[in-house]
Amino acid sequence: MTDTLRHDWSRDEVAALFALPFNDLLARAHAVHAAHHDPNAVQVSTLLSIKTGGCPEDCAYCPQAQRYQTGVQAEKLMSVEAVLEKARAARDAGASRFCMGAAWRAPKDRDIPRVAAIVRAVKALGLETCATLGMLKDDHARALKDAGLDYYNHNLDTAPEFYGEIIHTREYQDRLDTLEHVRDAGLKTCCGGIVGMGESRSQRAGLLQTLANLPEHPQSVPINLLVQVEGTPLAGTERLDPFEFVRTIAVARILMPASMVRLSAGREDMDEALQALCFFAGANSIFYGEKLLTTGNPDTERDRALFARLDLKPLQVTETSETVHADIVVSCKQAHAESAA
């Protein structure tokens, strides 16, 4: 099974994939995965919050929203030197991509040159660069591309019909417009969503359908499992069944065969067996390091040990190809909220 790239999936077709017997779904997803990727290799990214807290939006999952009492304090944009210190450490620990998140609704004109200087410096270290800064205008996207940015993360978060239950301060179309500006600038897109926010399976199918039917599949698709933070409206939400999360990974792999599917936020609460199932189902990217913006993440030693037990190897990106190759050992908003690109 080598499913071709499609952009015309119906909701019924996606729902039918979710409804497959669990083993049949995983077998199909793994076959698609192996046809398009090395099934024993995982791309490794590190995420840093370069501007934390104080966001004016009301995303119900986000500890960085200034209206919620979560203990996250607003901070200014980090200096180039401070970001470089973290980027060097990430590179030396085995990361091939460095993702930078800023808790803005949208960057102002004065912010772009400062972020561009950070991007140039990180790019010079030999790392792929990714940023998640909120809504992006077309000229801002072009400026970041010129600075050497490789990826821009802007998640759809959930299905169009469930979006209004989670966010009221921007429209779904605003997110689609930002993705269009990013594509038009020649940047790669990192775009996924968050599951476990109280949505139905049909709405999870709607999120993946929307992602797969974009004009271009996102090169990276972070699938975030809600990290419940006290003080946010979604704290106390009924937790998603772990096998339903694996199904979501598997369906994402089938719908977007060539994309990197990132096992993103929520890994801190996943045991190793669940993560192994996700890798088999088609996840081939992780965030690596102790934090996802403001929430926990498995530490590097635990990830190295898990990779060794599963005979997985990390991917190293070459400058001459969009394909990632393995030769060394090691999403923005839940990855942008804590996100999960």
Just list the catalytic residues: 55, 59, 62, 99, 130, 190, 262
Q: Give helix then strand counts, H and E, for the chain.
A: 11, 13
**Distance (Å, whole) CA 136 – CA 181:** 7
Rounded to whole angstroms, what are the CA distances from 123 to 35, 98, 149? Answer: 31, 9, 8
Which one-letter amino acid corresponds to residue 62?
A: C
For the chain, the residue count is 341
Q: Which of 138, 32, 47 is nearest to 99 (CA)?
A: 47
Name the DSSP class of 152. Answer: E
- 125: helix, coil or strand? coil
Instruction: Supply φ then ψ for residue 101, to 5 degrees.
Output: -115, 140
Name the DSSP class of 112. Answer: H
Angle among Cα 77, 82, 86 to the nearest 5 degrees reads 115
Tokens representing 69 are 């009492």
